[in-house]
Amino acid sequence: MTAEPSATSEPTPPAAPALPSDFIREIVAQHVAEQRYPAGIVTRFPPEPNGYLHIGHAKSICLNFGIALENGGRCHLRMDDTNPVKEDIEYVDSITTDVRWLIAGWADSILGLKVRGALPSPVPGSPRPDLLATTAPVVTNADPAATEPFFASDYFEALYNYAEQLITRGKAYVCDLTPAETETYRGSPDTPGKNSPFRDRPVAESLDLFRRMRAGEFADAARTLRAKIDMASPNIWLRDPLLYRIRHVAHHHAGTSWPIYPLYDFAHCLSDYIEGITHSICTLEFEVHRPLYDWLLESLDLPRALPRQYEFAKLNLAYTIVSKRKLMQLVQENHVSGWDDPRLPTLSGIRRRGVPAAALRSFVTGVGVTKFDSLTELAVYENAVRDSLNGLAHRRLAVLRPLKLVLTNIAAGETIECTAGNHPADPAAGSRTLALTREVFIENEDFAEVPPPKYFRLKPGGEVRLKYACIIKCDELVKDSAGNLTEIRCTADLSTRTGQANCDRKVKGTIHWVSAATAIDTEVRLYDRLFTKAEPDADGDFKSHLNPRSLEVLTAKLEPSLAAATPAERFQFERLGYFTPDAKDSAPGRPVFNRTITLKDTWSAK
């Protein structure tokens, strides 16, 4: 027999949400159980600052920060800035802002930054010379002016010294082949490469030339430093890959002191080591680079535990382009207004459109982590956004395409107060007062002079309820000399208001409205999918599939409370969608609203 619960007993708290599970988390859990890394789990998010972050990066951010958070570790933000030609401080700043936004209130406590200007320092008591880049104390992390991301360019001196060690050990050499010759000698995936004629250059000669490369003695591309591995390897990335090249260009962070720059594969693994990274988590295209990652680390007799690389499939989202090069084309050719255009999948565009960070985190975590490439339906992302906004967005009334309606039994200047709840599922959200006046606006599409079958909105002689107000009946249509409808005349049954005698009278249709006397005229931007094809670049011509109706700008009629809306707020315009004030173009008292998403999927039937 089951006991009845006590009236005074504490309610059972909701179960904590289950932690994500995937093959990488299982590997990390095994390492934690083995106590393989006594100092703790350290991951990193290391973008190259050559563009703005996009939704694909969000998956990597949430995976790396999530694993660190779940295991009491930390996650470093590092700029892999070894290519000065394409990188810029603008991208450093935008990346930092985007990462902070995405992890705020979730994983910001384990964000690994360094003290501004700090460089790696010697490790005390190490059996061999060693350097370690340390994170800023948590209290310092709270001050953005005192901290900054890690930079691979801060390790240029250390990387150079590692390169000299490889030369000294006979594992690297200076090569004089031109770029074209280097490519020819490399071979192809099914044809072995050929040894460079400079491969057996004496160690002392390579060391001398490498030092002269650093001194700026040689022209761009005159010489390179290459690893000495195996030109016949079936893995083309092991065919004596380039480690350094000559480039006489200034660097956004390191200045003008370096005429040579390390290549990504060389700098990446050693940057992980310098920072004490335990798990270097990359997307699947770097799987073939992993043998080189391991070879470089294992060739240097490094005293601390070595990082290991693990790969996962990147996020491929339908109706979306995430190539930085192609996104840059859209920006530079003015197909969009900038990197933060709300139609773009950049994190700055997603944020400006009004998508909550929690919704994006929920989506990228929900799609899972695998080693198989697949295409995720855009509807999955959109539903995650709707689910998030439905719970937090206050409800408001707005009319996008207004049609004037006159309530003939309400006197000019008369106001009837109506109470509207701010959220139907949250009484604590409170309510507000709406003014029902003689003249109101309804949506143009909420009236049909010749209605189709089963049409339950307003029609001649028909009745509907004005939400939060009363039932009205259509009595008369007013048209201009050209036969265009200019206003609808109706009678309001005021006895059907809340608390009145006939408040429970039912009609089949309910429509939204705003008072003509109190409504504010506001610019509203209706954003839609940027592309008309699920895989825009499948035929190599992604720009031909741009959606010409991806943006519609209207002057709408909004209830007056929205005049004070700020970009931090989210609203559901009832029956229309979710909207937020634009963070760039809104002004105090004069918001410009962006549609974040419609209430329902409008593409599934297309």
Question: Looking at residue 9, what is its pLDDT?
Answer: 36
Q: What is the pLDDT of residues 190-214, one digit of tens each?
A: 999 999 999 999 999 999 999 999 9
Question: Looking at residue 2, what is its pLDDT?
Answer: 40
Q: Do 542 and 531 form a contact (C-beta atoms < 8 A)?
A: yes
126 within some domain: yes
Q: Do 358 and 384 form a contact (C-beta atoms < 8 A)?
A: no
The secondary element (H helix, E strand) that includes residue 156 is helix 156-168
Q: Do 430 and 424 form a contact (C-beta atoms < 8 A)?
A: no
603 within some domain: no
Q: What is the pLDDT of residues 324-339, one digit of tens each?
A: 999 999 999 999 999 9
**Beta 279-283 vs 308-312: how paired, if at all?**
parallel
Question: Structure tokens of 419?
Answer: 């109470």
Same domain (yes/no): 162, 246: yes
**Beta 463-466 vs 415-421: how paired, if at all?**
unpaired
Q: Which residue range(s) make up the domain with 189? A: 158-262
Residue where one domain finishes, among candidates 511, 536, 557: 511
Q: What is the pLDDT of residues 398-433, one digit of tens each?
A: 999 999 999 999 999 999 999 999 999 999 999 999
CA distance 368 to 377: 14
Same domain (yes/no): 391, 534: yes
Same domain (yes/no): 50, 121: yes
CA distance 484 to 353: 36
Residue where one domain finishes, among candidates 482, 511, 540: 511
Question: Looking at residue 13, what is its pLDDT?
Answer: 47
Same domain (yes/no): 418, 498: yes
Stretch 284-313: mean pLDDT: 97
Question: Looking at residue 145, what is its pLDDT?
Answer: 84
Reported residue count of the chain is: 606
Stretch 345-366: mean pLDDT: 97
Mean pLDDT of the chain: 94
Stretch 544-557: mean pLDDT: 97
The secondary element (H helix, E strand) that includes residue 316 is strand 316-317
**Beta 431-437 vs 439-443: how paired, if at all?**
unpaired
Same domain (yes/no): 308, 448: no
Same domain (yes/no): 527, 388: yes
CB count in 10 Å sphere of residue 431: 12
307 within some domain: yes
Same domain (yes/no): 305, 360: no
CATH number at residue 40: 3.40.50.620
> In angstroms, what is the C-alpha Rg of the chain?
31
**Beta 150-151 vs 375-376: how paired, if at all?**
unpaired
100 within some domain: yes
18 within some domain: no
pLDDT band at residue 601, thresholds of 50, 70 and 90? confident
Question: Looking at residue 363, what is its pLDDT?
Answer: 97
C-alpha separations of 117 from 9, 197, 344, 561 in Å: 56, 42, 34, 47
pLDDT at 357 over 90: yes
Amino acid occupying residue 241: P
Same domain (yes/no): 503, 405: yes
Across 559-604, where does the E strand assignment appear?
A: 571-573, 577-581, 593-598
pLDDT band at residue 3, thresholds of 50, 70 and 90? very low
C-alpha separations of 463 from 506, 508, 539, 596 in Å: 10, 8, 52, 32
CATH number at residue 527: 2.40.240.10
CA distance 568 to 560: 18
Same domain (yes/no): 474, 497: yes
Share of the chain above pLDDT 90, in %: 92
Q: Classify 436 as helix, strand or coil.
A: strand
Q: Which of 328, 337, 358, 362 is nearest to 52 (CA)?
A: 328
CATH number at residue 207: 3.90.800.10
Number of domains in the chain: 4
Residue where one domain finishes, among candidates 511, 545, 569: 511
Same domain (yes/no): 503, 585: no
279 within some domain: yes
Stretch 581-594: mean pLDDT: 96
CA distance 442 to 557: 9
pLDDT at 271 over 70: yes
Question: Looking at residue 6, what is its pLDDT?
Answer: 37
SS3 letters for 51-90? CCCEHHHHHHHHHHHHHHHHCCCEEEEEECCCCCCCCCHH
Q: What is the pLDDT of residues 466-524, one digit of tens each?
A: 999 999 999 999 999 999 999 999 999 999 998 888 889 999 999 999 999 999 999 99
Q: pTM to 2 decimals?
A: 0.92
Share of the chain above pLDDT 70, in %: 96
pLDDT at 606 over 70: no
Q: Which of 479, 467, 465, 604 is nearest to 529 (CA)?
A: 604
Question: Looking at residue 79, what is its pLDDT?
Answer: 98
pLDDT at 141 over 90: no
**Beta 571-573 vs 551-558: how paired, if at all?**
unpaired
Question: Looking at residue 38, what is its pLDDT?
Answer: 93
> 357-366 and 378-392 are packed helices; what angle lies between their axes, rounded to 10 degrees?
140
pLDDT at 18 over 90: no
Q: Which of 71, 111, 119 is nearest to 95 (CA)?
A: 111
pLDDT band at residue 241, thresholds of 50, 70 and 90? very high
230 within some domain: yes
Same domain (yes/no): 506, 406: yes
Q: What is the pLDDT of residues 552-576, one digit of tens each?
A: 999 999 999 999 999 999 999 999 9
296 within some domain: yes
Same domain (yes/no): 166, 86: no
